[in-house]
Amino acid sequence: MRSFFSKYKFFGTVLLALSIVIIYLFYNALQPKKTLAIYQPSMVSQELVDSTLHYKKKYHTIGDFALTNQNGKKITQDDYMGKIYVADFFFTTCPTICPIMTKNMAQIQDVIMDEKDVLLLSHSVTPDIDSVPQLKKYALEKGVVDAKWNLVTGDKKQIYQLARKSYLAVKTDGDGGPYDMIHTENFILVDKERRIRGFYDGTNSEEIQKLLEDLQILKKSYEH
């Protein structure tokens, strides 16, 4: 008799475990999949967007570019083709928010080190000061890994147009003249189709964590 009940006890335990697994699978299947917005100029504060784009509601992508990195290599949109990347704007002599932003970008670099389809891109907003040797010096000081992270300099007007017309990232309405200075704490998450998928405060640790979580959501969206 005891053997009979022990068999049923075992059967009941297995049935309970199986039921829990089935319920868990059904629960997951019924949960809406997390997705990220595709940001358009009309979704962003107008003060951050060039007036020519204020009412653009779809098809916004990052424009073509040709800049030079810390190793003197020409970097274009082709180097980021088929990649997810995080972009920002900085300058090497910045004494305020840039050191924090660079430290947080280095943290992201550590996380994505083995992820071949994720890169970083930092644009200098003082390209007249941030020469290739200056960028290289900064890169070595901050632990920049060349294969993962490009610090770029080049034509100031092009960089300023990228900031305002492509990345929708800065309030300054300058044209890249000698006395203009754009500066933003924003990190911008860009997908493989060159679309903006998120904006984050690069000086805020909680925002960096949110960026990393969104990065994983974006990566998973390419798995199917």
Beta strands in 77-195 (DSSP E): 84-90, 118-124, 149-152, 186-190
What span, in angstroms and rounded, lies between the C-alpha atoms of 213 and 186?
A: 17
Q: Radius of gyration (Cα) for the chain, nearest Å?
A: 23
Alpha helices for 113-175 (secondary structure H): 132-142, 156-161
Q: Is 98 marked within a binding site?
A: yes
The CA-based dihedral angle spanning residues 119, 116, 219, 57, taken in that order and rounded to the nearest 10 degrees:
40
**Residue 94, annotated as binding a ligand:** yes
Please indicate if the annotation marks 183 as binding a ligand: yes
Residues 6 or more apart whose Cβ sits within 8 Å of residue 209:
none
Residues annotated as binding site? 94, 98, 183
Residues annotated as binding site for Cu cation? 94, 98, 183
